[in-house]
Structure 1
Amino acid sequence: MSQPHNLFIEWYNSLKIVKANNGPANGSIATALVVLTRLESDFDLNFAAHIAEGGMQIKGASGAAVAAILKAFGEDRPFAKEGGRTNRGGPSEIRSLLETEKKIQELEKYTPTQWQNQLHIQKEFLVERVKDFHNRQKLKLTFNPAYSTWFIISGLLQEAINEGKAGYVAQHLVGAKLQLRFPDIPVSNESGSTADVQTQRPGDFLIGHTAIHVTVAPMPPVFEKCKHNILAGLNPLLLVPDNKLVGARQIAEQMCEHQISVESIESFVSQNINEVSIFSKEKLIVSLRELIKIYNERVDAVETDKSLMIELPLNLL
């Protein structure tokens, strides 16, 4: 594959790195693909030609538009459902991209045909980055039968934290645990990027009269949600990492004394797995395997980032 102009590479390398992606945000790549495609038919490097009314979004950016571009390059896996429309940095990144293209033109004096070729190469480069995104390794689960279930779950969460994926993993892990524990009750499944307000949800999950909130960073807004739950006649349950448990409980008591249950994600998941396994080591292996199977199915159904999925170790297969 031919490489794009070095100035384009410099522009790409200047994009903000998202830890979970080990590269730029999906929306950054998506909006660039949309703009480069438009430049192929209308080589207008003025920023105003590419910004939608209101100045906050890139014109023509949508999930469908990005999917069509990727499909033309043989890539049909889901990527950037919003097409970069909600990417806050999109306009400034595109402004910088257009300035880069102007510099390339000043240096190279490309003919229209040469520009067509250069734009195609730039798009091809970005599509390769999309493929890199999809081909990243899954999270690794370490299973040692000598370890407690709590420690196994804690280790998995720690790896997710290291990879910048903790929030997503925690939510889907709790969802999988609930589905495993209550197979006859529908357990909602939303992308980790979906805000409760978008779906009118009282929390990440609603089981009976309990609204369950899962967060790796217990900040004031989640406690406000708990207060709203109480006013609505629901019992809020807040799940946080073990190292945030003491602080979260203190805040919960200050805001709504004796009305918000706060537990660690590690304990909530591991204790239930032990109970489902009837505290049997042999059955624990089966339960953990089933938990990860359900988790992966839930992630696969709603997340474009498949590296959130968990790879089973050989001793759990």
Structure 2
Amino acid sequence: MASEEPGASPTDAPQSQDGLTGRLAAFADEHAIRSKGALGLPLVVTDHARTMGLPLDPARLRTEKEGQVLGLGKGKVQQVLARHGIDRVLAEEGGRTSRGSMGKMTAYVALLNELYAEGDSALDLDQVEAFWISRVQLFFAGKPLVMRLDPQASLRTAFRNLFEQAGVRQRETPGTMVVGTVLQHLVGAKLEGAYGQVEHHSVSTKDEGQSRPGDFSIGDLAIHVSTAPGEALIRKCQTNLSGGQRPVILTLGRGVTLATGLAENAGIADRIDVFDSHQWLAASALDHGGDSPQARAYEIGQLLEIYNRIVETTETDPSLKIILATGRV
């Protein structure tokens, strides 16, 4: 991290480019400004500093409904990005409802005010904004997930390791749904490979209000994808049954036991199918390419090719893509 030259006083000269960049980088690290929602916050607050002037009063950046940052939504974020020739959507929700947004906003306002007070000339907000734009560009160029096929391990293990990797990334960027997104689009890719054209949706798009019986609808099948099945999902399954549809739940690990137990309590356990997605995805690859390592790698490669295309068309985070690697680490 860049720092001020030895012996230099903050008030002796305007903020140097390296010094300002270092302070902003330190703030980004301390407050985990890495995810799509989190990156929108400093862009919007910096824009408020342009219009309201410095020093900023954080109270003016709170909406009347406590818990939301003024202007922190898709429209304002995209307006700032457009000034730099970026038309890709950073986040549909713009970060407005992310946990901790108010605290991060207050801390960032404090940093801007501190930087303003330290300099003997106006803080260069163009430079500040350029720093956050560079972070957005790094985000868009984020590294994809990696699925590794180890000839000494089962395919189920390969899928389980992939989801564990997604879980680590999700924990590193609170408020994201990496595991759920990867699961839904892998399921969608498998269904498209088996049935042809399938309608795909962003994970942030809810079934309710969309006239959709589930995440996927194929013939009389209403397919639900969930990392944590709950009573609301079971009620959807009951609605499916009432409408003459056959509900299928695809989940992970303990979600199978949870969904089965809830279905038993609702009296519909013998009318719905519940599958562990690790096994379901692995079984499909074995069914179509189980006679050799090369054939299995080809089948997984085809699955990921469809998956990556779905991510490109439905999501805004390219780091959700998956690349295939073979051999032991």
Q: 1:263 to 1:10 in 2, by over 3 A?
A: same
Contact 2:230-2:262 within 8 A present in 1 as well? no
Deviation of 1:191 (Å): 1.6
* Comparing 42-51 and 206-215, the one that deviates more: 42-51
1:122 to 107, 117, 128: 128
The residue that corresponds to 1:309 in the other structure is 321
Aligned residues: 301
Distance in 2, matches of 1:72 and 1:50, equals: 22
Contact 1:180-1:291 within 8 A present in 2 as well? yes
Contact 2:260-2:269 within 8 A present in 1 as well? no
1:170 to 172, 175, 183: 183
Deviation of 1:312 (Å): 2.0
Distance in 2, matches of 1:265 and 1:132, equals: 32
Distance in 2, matches of 1:298 and 1:259, equals: 31
Contact 1:204-1:212 within 8 A present in 2 as well? yes
Distance in 2, matches of 1:213 and 1:59, equals: 36
Deviation of 1:80 (Å): 1.7
The residue that corresponds to 1:132 in the other structure is 138
Alignment RMSD (CA, Å): 2.8
Distance in 2, matches of 1:90 and 1:159, equals: 26
Amino acid at match of 2:261: Q
The residue that corresponds to 1:287 in the other structure is 299
Amino acid at match of 1:172: H
Structure 1: runs of 5+ lacking an equivalent: 18-22
Q: Deviations over 1:8-35 (max 9, x none)?
A: 55654453x4xxxxx4442232132122
Contact 1:3-1:121 within 8 A present in 2 as well? no
Structure 2 counterparts to residues 1-317 of structure 1, below 5 A: 2-4=18-20, 11-15=27-31, 17=32, 23-43=33-53, 45-47=56-58, 49-52=60-63, 54-55=65-66, 57-73=68-84, 75-87=86-98, 89-105=100-116, 107-108=117-118, 110-111=120-121, 114-115=122-123, 117=124, 119-145=125-151, 147-164=153-170, 165-183=178-196, 186-197=197-208, 199-255=210-266, 256-277=268-289, 279-281=290-292, 282-313=294-325
Distance in 2, matches of 1:57 and 1:120, equals: 25
TM-score normalised over the length of structure 1 = 0.81
Distance in 2, matches of 1:103 and 1:162, equals: 34
Distance in 1, matches of 2:76 and 2:19, equals: 24
2:297 aligns to what SS in structure 1?
Answer: helix
Deviation of 1:305 (Å): 1.4
Contact 2:74-2:92 within 8 A present in 1 as well? yes
* Comparing 33-42 and 142-151, the one that deviates more: 142-151
2:249 aligns to what SS in structure 1?
Answer: strand
Q: Deviations over 1:141-175 (max 9, x none)?
A: 11234544333323322322233222111111100
Q: 1:285 to 1:306 in 2, by over 3 A?
A: same
Deviation of 1:253 (Å): 1.6
Structure 2: runs of 5+ lacking an equivalent: 1-16, 171-177
Q: 1:143 to 1:314 in 2, by over 3 A?
A: closer
Distance in 1, matches of 2:257 and 2:158, equals: 21
Taking only the aligned residue pairs, the percentage that are identical comes to: 28
Q: 1:147 to 1:7 in 2, by over 3 A?
A: closer
* Comparing 203-212 and 240-249, the one that deviates more: 240-249
Q: Deviations over 1:224-263 (max 9, x none)?
A: 3223322333221111113432343223222233122111
